[in-house]
Amino acid sequence: MTTVRTEAPSVRVSDEHFCRCEGGSERTAEHPPRLTAAGRLAACLLLALLAASCSGLTSSLGPPPFPLVLVSDVGLPGAAARFDYQDIDVTHGHLVMSHMGDDSVVVVQVSDGSVVKVLPGIPVPRGVVVADNVGRIFVTSTSTLNQLVIIDSTSLTEIARVPTGNSPDGVGWDSVHQTVGVSDQGDGAISLIAGSGSGVRTQVPLGITVGNVVFDAARARFWVTVVNAAPPDQLVAVDPVTASVITRIDLPGCDGAHGLRLHPDGQSALVACEVNSVLARVGLGTPTTIVTAPVGNAPDVLSIDPGHGWLYVAAESGDLTVFDLGKPGLVNVDSEHVDNTAHTVAVDAATHRVFFPLEAGPQATPILLIMRPATN
């Protein structure tokens, strides 16, 4: 996205009847304009008023917040291989990342990106969610065993591994009923695991494949992105108590519904459509409304900065698109290429910093790219 800044001309007046408008012509006492002294003063005052007016307009609009600027890049351990989902543990000030291609989970400090701990031996970790109210972190592991890995968020040690359906991907946390929702991508279903992940698992079939899952506390339900055998894809609500489908919302114009986040006001959902590379904003009321906008190729991970009302959409192409959620529809405020492997993004709501774990930095080893908007 190209941002154009308009700056007001600067005006200076001196004892030598010097009046200058930057970017234009100037006259001095050596080559006086054909005006009286009073006329020259009046002209300069007029220019000064115009400059002040333009300056005030620029100030009221404020400088543009993008593009992102570098805070730091921090070396990460492990193989130069794919990362997947991330989540922020606000209680402990940690960023938890699934290092998918390295079979490990990496925990770093949000403040500076320094490594706190690496949990190895977690085959193909994918989805990550922090459950603050029970002190647990849940990570899906898409291996031959198909498991949910449960981690103590204080000691950062494993508690247990429990079975899921086939190819678990996204994971959501129901803080009301203390139920974990796992999108069983290979089964086209959601697994509901009671007892903070340690209880009974109930699977609910939804389609031929599923994407991400998030919990809607206001409505006490999980939302899941679903791809059906025949179009359209859908956004499906599941009751975590009765393990039943509450409603299905068609997503016309969305092919390959995958990434999912809820708008901070709870009135709409944001869906990344990975096949036709658009973002869909879906109203959750009645009647249902849907609008779409183009994003990078194969959008994947979504993250929201609730303080600024910005949605970050990361794509497999490494292109980032930012939308202003404070406005109706989908208003693009930034599009930029971060890195070829920047397909996952997380935002710290407290500092507005944006995190991109990359497969390889300048030394061909993994790095955490930490950025921020040019004006927070």
> How would you write the pLDDT of the chain (376 residues) with one tens digit per residue?
333 222 333 332 333 333 333 333 333 333 444 445 555 555 544 444 444 444 444 344 666 789 999 999 999 999 999 999 999 999 999 999 999 999 999 999 999 999 999 999 999 999 999 999 999 999 999 988 999 999 999 999 999 999 999 999 999 999 999 999 999 999 999 999 999 999 999 999 999 999 999 999 999 999 999 999 999 999 999 999 999 999 999 999 999 999 999 999 999 999 999 999 999 999 998 888 999 999 999 999 999 999 999 999 999 999 999 999 999 999 999 999 999 999 999 999 999 999 999 999 999 999 999 999 998 7
Peptide bond into 366 cis (omega under 30): no
Question: Are 149 and 42 found together in one domain?
Answer: no
Q: What is the pTM of this model?
A: 0.83
**In this structure, are 145 and 115 located in the same domain?**
yes
Same domain, 92 and 54: no
Sheet containing strand 201-205, strands side by side = 168-174, 179-184, 189-193, 201-205
Residue 343 lies in a domain: yes
Q: Which domain holds residue 194?
A: 68-373
Same-domain pairing of 241 and 317: yes
The number of distinct structural domains making up the chain is: 2
Whether residue 81 sits in one domain with residue 17: no
In the three-class reduction of DSSP (H, G, I as helix; E, B as strand; rest coil), residue 171 is classed as strand
Q: Are residues 184 and 304 in the same domain?
A: yes
Residue 3 within a domain:
no
Give all strands of the β-sheet with 209-216 in edge-to-edge order: 209-216, 221-227, 233-239, 244-251
Cβ-based neighbour number of residue 89 at 10 Å: 21
Question: Among the three residues 22, 37, 59, which one is the final residue of a domain in this structure?
Answer: 59
Domain assignment present for 236: yes
Q: Give the three-state DSSP class for 353.
A: coil
Q: Is 325 a domain residue?
A: yes
> Are 23 and 52 members of one domain?
yes
357 shares a domain with 265 = yes
Two tokens, residue 144: 């031959």
CA nearest to 68, candidates 362, 341, 337 = 337
